[in-house]
Amino acid sequence: MPVTKENNRVLGILIRSNRIRKGYSLRELGQRANISHTLISNIEKGQLIPSNETLRDLFKELDLKFYDDIELHREFMRKSKQIYTRIFNYDYAEAGALLEKLRKFEEKLMFSIDVVDYVLVKGFYYASVQVKLKEINDAFQLYGKMIDFLTEDQQQMVYFIQGLYQLTKEYYNSATATFHRALSLGKRDRDVFIQQYLVQTLVKQYKFIDAYRISSVIIKEFEDRTIYIRAMKTKLLQAGIFYHIAKNEEVYEITSSVERFARKYNMIELYEECIFFRTKIDIRNGEFEKAKMQLSRMTNKESVSANLLYFKIAYITNDKESLERLYNVLMKSNLSTMSLRTWNYLQVQAMSKLPSLFDRDRYLELLKWLIDFSTTHNDQEMITLSYNYLISLYHEERSYKKALDLTENLLHFKKIHVEDKL
């Protein structure tokens, strides 16, 4: 392996990451390998070129290998660039196929000069398509401890991936802060992609002014770069803002534009998101048959997303037979497609309407979990919904003091949120 500053830095990261995995302190590893802990520290920081004998002793204690394959390095550099380009262009299928080709060499890549960049490209793909989330979290908990050892570009990607993970888990406060950290580092031409996800976190926290301002800028940038699908996805985020503030005409205008694009290029996901917005407006307006007609246009009429909207219609219309049927269908579906927050709220809704399911202790447990989760992560919609269910329960039980205290808590929280926005 040629001696370069970059190689020394990555070699140090490889040693440090495996030392942490094994739970060794610098002193413990030094004692095991009969090497000064100060020397090991300098090697980990990339400040010192270790001798072959020192490397051999460290690698033996850490069960490490090291692969020096220049052809594999070149292939990795070529394919990783292609993967990033495919992800940024929303071509996840091709990105996944390219990643699978790299994974055939995973053992070598994980013990090579490309280890950090391989972990990053793999984590970015998984976080983008929302799979292997535990694997992502475990890996980036470790890399978070080594953030100072990475280049600024690598630091930016670590924060970007952590933000994507937090967004998927609906940790909106944390995701917002993490995306802002990512935006303070690395490549400026990557910022627009980070900002797209930042807008999602802001919408969920009802920070609509900031969300609209940022989204308007990045739509233009995506269009200038001819990344039209991300421009359309960002337009739908703006539709979400208008939906929350009940500007239905604006929602229809945006979704009509996006639907034309989706039909032209056969983008089913975009097309169905447009249907969801219109369905939710029809439900809010009490036009339930019209909402069902909208859902009948879905490609997959039995998807979890479609059934959740059918469930909402049954709930509002007090159609208990359909409600129970849909609840059972959703229980049998792949719960990995629903967040824990969505699943717990679904149980609350079902219990509130179906006496056969009602269990007061479980009902209270779920509501208190939802209140704690939503206030911790600033999920503004769920804060209001969960508080209102608990207030209604205490009203029904004539526990008016508890209901009043909860109402005051909710109003106080909303007041703080409004003042923070101002």
Rounded average pLDDT per 10-residue block, the chain, 422 residues: 60 84 89 89 81 82 82 93 95 96 92 87 94 85 79 92 94 96 92 97 95 97 96 97 96 96 93 95 96 91 90 96 94 76 95 95 95 93 92 88 84 55 38
| DSSP codes of every residue in 255-298 | HHHHHHHHHHTT-HHHHHHHHHHHHHHHHHTT-HHHHHHHHTT-
What is the Cα–Cα distance from 259 to 69, expressed in whole angstroms? 48
In this structure, are residues 153 and 123 in contact, taking their beta carbons and an 8 Å threshold?
no
* Of 304, 377, 384, 284, nearest in space to 346 by CA: 304
| Res 415: pLDDT | 53
Contacts of 343 (CB under 8 A, 6+ apart): 335
80, HSE (Cβ side, Cα atoms, 13 Å): 19
Distance separating alpha carbons of residues 288 and 1, to the nearest angstrom? 68
**pLDDT for the residue numbered 264:** 94
- What type of residue sits at position 52? N
Query: Are 80 and 65 a contacting pair, CB within 8 Å?
Result: no
pLDDT at 418: 41
